[in-house]
Structure 1
Amino acid sequence: METPAGSTEVLQAQSPWTPAEGGFKGWLTVAASFVIQGLILGINFSYSVIYVELQRILDKDGVAETSYKTSLVGSLSLGTTFAFSILAGILNDLFSYRTTTIIGGCFCLVGMFSSSFLIHYVEALYFTYGILFGIGAALCFNPSLVVLGLHFKKRIGLVCGIVSAGSSIFTFWLPPALGAMIPAIGLDWTLRVVSFLMILIIVASFTFNVPDGANEGSERKKFELSKFLNKENWKRKKFVIWTICIPIALFGYFVPFVHMMKFISVNFPSEDGKIPLMCIGIASAVGRVAFGFISDYDRINRVMLQQFAIFSIGVLTMLLAAANPWVYIILIALGIGIFDGCYFSMIGPIAFDLCGPKGASQAIGFVSGLSAFSVTLGPTIAGKLFEMYNSYTVPFLVAGAPLILGACGMFTIILVCWLY
């Protein structure tokens, strides 16, 4: 007997697809995403090690304004990673998470490998390290986070925390590894070794399988830009406010990450500048898993958790300007790491909360893309301010202000929750 027309849709409405909450494929995807985020963000967050050596090379070559130009290379990489997250969100819906990540891995490999031949040409590094690697990182970061929603729902906070801890773990061991390789084999061969690691991204992306019944990219046959731009997200007041506050806060967010090594070499020349970065990395890993786990409780407001984390990083960044003795630097680095873990582990869950599973990919893409200008400009301006004042007091004070401002702006999201 024939089934009535539309019966399939009725059955689907009665029994909607839900994630399996794990399984072998689900946890394999978590492991792959952990490695991918660890590589792309760990390299970005460890740039201050490369910064010191690259500036030394440029100074030796007689290049002017080396602090500013060296900062710009790392800032462009971070900024491009954020800017092209918008494209990554659209490509996820147009093709697949796996395809987008493979393309991104190829960009990362080419960008990093070509940079190894251009360490004496900072303008070329703007393109190879800043743009090419940044595009690749964006195309890897977005799908490695959103794909988790195909396998988890109730534990989405925990798994996002575990995956985002990848960048923290890699930030813990990459600075000493890079610091050991650079004197031994030079910056050029160090970048080549890093480029070979990008192959792991391509391999890991093959685990990004779509579970049976999931509707990832179900309507891809005819490309219409308006069709793939999720307009429903922009009708959600809380999401719009979130996309305004986060870019404001991120203006100063990455200044400590980019400038930490230089700051230590100026203020504490006898100390190892890699130690605070390692402290940030390990504390961030703990924070990501811990806050991810905590956020899965029903009564926990994830927006407020992220708001508190941003505010705290702003205060700690300002305190960094006057921190003395050395033990205070370590304590501040641990604090920044813990709250950095909270901030990053909340990105995915908040996107799912505000926009739902269908809108999460582009929600993450757009909030990241709109932050690109801030992420690029913040560390670069900090480098310029250091050249003007020959001190990190003003740069760190300026960096902390937008973090506090953005956090205060997030009270509006809570107000909208109360009003509506």
Structure 2
Amino acid sequence: LGANVLALRFTCRKVVFIGGVLSGLGFILSTFVEHFDLLYLTFAVITGLGYALSYSPCVVMVGLHFKKRRSLANGISVSGSGVGSFVVPNLIRWLLNLYGLPGCLLILGGLTLNVSVCALLIRPLSSYKKRQPELRYTELGVTKDAGFQQLLNTQICESLSGNNGQASRKESLSKNFSEFSSNELIPMASLQNIPQEELKDLTSSVCDCCKCCDRQKSSTNRSHKKTQKLFDWSLMSNPLFIIYALSCGFGNFAYPNVFLMLPAHAENNGQDRNTAALLVSIIGITDLIGRLFFGWFSDLKLMPRLLNRCSVMATFPALVTYAALYGLFAGSYMALISVMLADVLGVEKLSSAYGLVMLVMSVGLLPGPLICGQRTARYYWHWNYSFVLCGVLALIGSIPPLFEPCAKQYVDAREAKKINVKAVTKSLV
């Protein structure tokens, strides 16, 4: 939630960069900790804060940069966690056996610092805009004289045309310059024969006009920044947002806890640790396939994205089959969250909506390890009940999106009513 607000205030690049530094710093500081209680500060708080600042703004940036292939782009961007789930468990086990816990944390901290390097590659949307072609003086048949160059400098045109609400000035300026550049009205030789003093006066008048427009434009931008909302709290009263927030909250209780429960459940059934870690790797690789496939399939629009998302619930008793199918369909769940929010609420509200959804998902994540952990399963119930609980909550999370059509009709009717009230009020005034 706070990461998206900070990204709007300080740009995504700065927030993600700081997040990468904090997450790497948390790992590195954990190597020097001798008491377990301090790990709550270094590993949990600092590293967790760094991950929170890094993840959410990156997902929002992908949603803002892409439109036609947004689902596929988002699937590719979040597929890194699938690769991590496939590679990291075996890597961590190998590092622990080779360097111990301090060395393992130090290496992981160095790898995590690369997030800050990737943050430097984040570019705003404005950097991808096409630049206007510069005016060529040779096409006008004139020499590149210093005074005449200043008069026909394309920066003057861009400065004037960039001022919103000044279309008439833009048209008149283009008309004036077209008259100057027309061979029928003014011979090119006459332009070159204009006295330098008169040319300087004419140039200074145009530049003064540009400065005036620039001041007005800068003041407008400053006022826009002051009035721009850093967070859209109206989402809290939007039924469409509430539906998906509840769905993600219940679904996120089940999704990450399976990574914690499945290896321990396999060990309790006689499997060795390497086999148990392999199950997590199977979830990771199928999760990667699911995110990429369902992201691509969703962009084809052969069926509603809502139906793709509700297919998350697939459970089988065999551990390997369960891991493969769970990772495959969970990949569609994670890949389409931000895409669904952009489709339902609009791209302009994606940052606030995704931040709030991450907040709700973290609330669903918090009690999971305490309720479904090994100690609870050992003393209060069997491991099977933990899986049943996750399955039931995930099923509950798949129910709210089914009411999206009703909520959309309600929101559309409410917006139409507001428009009618404004129209009546305006007519009375």
Cross-structure match for 2:28: 113
User: How far does residue 228 in structure 1 lie from its aligned partner after superposition?
Assistant: 1.2
Q: Residues 359 and 188 of structure 1: is their aligned pair in 2 closer, same or farther, counting only changes over 3 Å? A: same
**Cα distance in 1 for residues equivalent to 2:79 and 2:378:** 34
Distance 1:344 1:222, change over 3 A: same
Partner Cα separation in structure 2 for residue 183 and residue 390 of structure 1: 33
**TM-score scaled to structure 1, two decimals?**
0.71
The aligned runs of 1:18-417 (5 Å cut-off) are 86-118=1-33, 121-212=35-126, 227-270=229-272, 272-309=275-312, 311-312=313-314, 316=315, 319=316, 323=317, 328-383=318-373, 384-389=375-380, 391-417=382-408
Is the 1:254–1:379 Cα contact (8 Å) retained in structure 2? no
Per-residue CA deviation, residues 307-360 of structure 1 (Å, 9 max, x unaligned), is 222x33xxx2xx5xxx3xxxx211100011101110111012112112222211
How many residues end up aligned between the 2 structures? Answer: 319
What SS does structure 1 have at the residue aligned with 2:367?
helix
Percent identity, please.
Answer: 24
Work out whether residues 94 and 223 of structure 1, in 8 Å CA contact, stay in contact via their aligned partners in 2: no
Q: Identify the structure with bigger relative contact order (alpha carbons < 8 Å, sequence gap 6+).
A: 1
State the 1:370 CA deviation.
1.5
Within 2, Cα distance between the matches of 1:116 and 1:295?
Answer: 43
Asked if 2 retains the 8 angstrom alpha-carbon contact of 1:111 and 1:133, the reply is yes
Structure 1 contact 284–341 (Cα < 8 Å) conserved:
yes
2:194 alignment partner in structure 1:
none
User: 2:255·2:330 contact (CA, 8 Å) conserved in 1?
Assistant: no
1:103 Cα offset (Å): 1.0
* Displacement after TM superposition at 1:180 (Å): 0.8
Give the drift of 1:220: 8.0
Runs of 5+ consecutive residues of structure 1 not aligned to the other structure:
1-85
Structure 1 residues 333 and 221 mapped into 2: Cα distance closer, same or farther (>3 Å)? farther
Q: Secondary structure at the match of 2:125?
A: coil
**In the alignment, residue 288 of structure 1 is paired with which amino acid?**
R
Closer, same or farther in 2 for the Cα pair 1:373/1:291, shift >3 Å?
same
Q: Per-residue deviation at 1:389?
A: 4.0
Cα contact 1:265–1:273 (8 A) shared by 2: yes
Task: Give the superposed CA RMSD.
Answer: 2.5
* Cα distance, 1:263 vs structure 2: 2.0
Distance in 1, Cα, partners of 2:16 & 2:286: 28
Change (3 A) 1:297 1:236: farther
Structure-2-length-normalised TM-score: 0.69
| Aligned CA distance change for structure 1 residues 241 and 224 (closer, same or farther; 3 Å) | farther
| Cα distance change on mapping 1:243 and 1:113 into 2, 3 Å | same
For 1:406 and 1:101, how far apart are their aligned partners in 2?
30
List alignment gaps of at least 5 residues for structure 2: 130-219, 413-429
Per-residue deviation, residues 57-94 of structure 1 (Å, max 9, x unmatched): xxxxxxxxxxxxxxxxxxxxxxxxxxxxx001111111
Q: For 1:348 and 1:265, locate their aligned partners in 2 and report how far apart those are by CA, in whole Å.
A: 36
- 1: CA distance between counterparts of 2:364 and 2:35? 25
